[in-house]
Amino acid sequence: MEKVAKLGSTDLEVSRHGFGAARIGDGVPLEQIEELFDSLLDAGITFIDTADCYNQSEELIHRYLADRIGEFVIATKCGCIAGDEQGEEYSRDVIERSIDRSLKRMGLDCLDLVFLHSCSAEVLREGEATDALLRARDAGKVRYTGYSGDDEAALQAISMGVFDALQVTFNILDQSALGEVLPAAERAGMGVVAKRPIANARLLPPDSAEFYGGPYWDPVRPLLEEEGAWDDPLECSLRFTLSHPVITSAIVGTNSAEHARDNAKRAQAQALSPRLMEALHKLRPENS
């Protein structure tokens, strides 16, 4: 079964391999979605990441998990403009409506975790978006708050000391968060959720610059092969992400039950060796 970990200083226990629900509303047959959610439960994947702007994702979560929703920790996001929504992104009104909409769509009285959805450092500094989310928490609509984003904006969010969790891009091809963001989040005691943990599978297409059979990997290929880490490049990618203790959970998106089961197996593999991790870190561009 899937390993679980405490999300920062919260009391939320999340599976280290999380499920990204962005794609389930993109015309996927309903019976396929039902099979997918059954597979998640069977594998012990109990952390689901969605957003107000993910097409029908929240409604489908309610449709198939209403009777079991207490078995999951569900994170959603707010602040973007989508569909028929009007107003200014990250304004108080937009965030308040977004949170109320998410509550209604998923049939909940309180949301486990809500992230501000990739707003800029400037928006964070202005304070209206953060204040709206904190007011929703104080009103009992949200248990814990987070920020989803990268680089300067992520550092701004961490420095404010008001968010419980950070969702950040981190994977074997994009290690930029190792420089400042992940150490700062760890010092702040935040739970860290890695998005794009398998690098959007960019290792697989032969025309990709980072194709697993290409020269990009020549400096580390012998080590990868020695540890048997290169038989499945996607497993290696997920192992790399989860080998960093600061990462509480890594969310992988799919609309396929088969892929979900495969990813769950990949997440069970042991951490990569310190020697291999050091070599992979050296692949990181000097300025990342």
Q: What single string gives the DSSP state of each residue in 128-187?
A: HHHHHHHHHHHTTSEEEEEEE--HHHHHHHHHHT--SEEEEE--SS--GGGTTHHHHHHH
**Considering the domain boundaries, does residue 123 fall inside one?**
yes
CATH number of the domain that 139 lies in? Answer: 3.20.20.100
How many other C-beta atoms lie within 10 A of the C-beta of residue 125? 12
Under 8 Å between Cβ of 32 and 74: no
- What is the tens place of the pLDDT at every residue in 150-162? 999 999 999 999 9
Rounded Cα distance between 247 and 11, Å, is 16
Single-letter amino acid, residue 134: L
Average pLDDT over residues 192-219: 95
Q: Is residue 27 part of a domain?
A: yes
278 in any annotated domain: no
Residue 280 lies inside a defined structural domain of this protein: no
When pLDDT is averaged across residues 94-116 and rounded to a whole number, the result is 96
Max CA separation in the chain (angstroms): 55
Distance between CA atoms of 181 and 150, rounded to whole angstroms? 8
Which comes out higher in pLDDT, residue 3 or 62?
Answer: 62
| Nearest to 32, CA basis, from 211, 203, 258 | 258
Range of the domain at 262: 4-203+244-270
For the record, the structure tokens of 254 come out as: 């799919």
Contact 124, 160 (CB under 8 A): yes
What's the pLDDT band for 285 if we cut at 50, 70, 90?
low
Instruction: For residue 189, list its beta bridge partners.
Output: none
Cα three-residue angle 82-83-86, rounded to 5 degrees? 70
Residue 169 near residue 195, CB atoms below 8 Å: yes
Q: Whole-angstrom distance between the N-terminal and C-terminal Cα of the chain?
A: 35
- Specify if 227 maps to a domain: no
Q: Is the pLDDT of residue 288 over 50?
A: no
Is residue 21 within 8 A of residue 74, CB to CB? The reply is no
pLDDT at 231 over 60: yes
Name the pLDDT band for 287 (thresholds 50, 70, 90).
Answer: very low
In a domain, 62, yes or no: yes
d(Cα 99, Cα 102) in Å, to the nearest integer? 5
Helix, strand, or coil here: 223?
helix
The number of distinct structural domains making up the chain is 1
Q: Give a yes or no: residue 66 inside a domain.
A: yes
Residue 225 belongs to some domain of the structure: no
**pLDDT at residue 235 above 90?**
yes
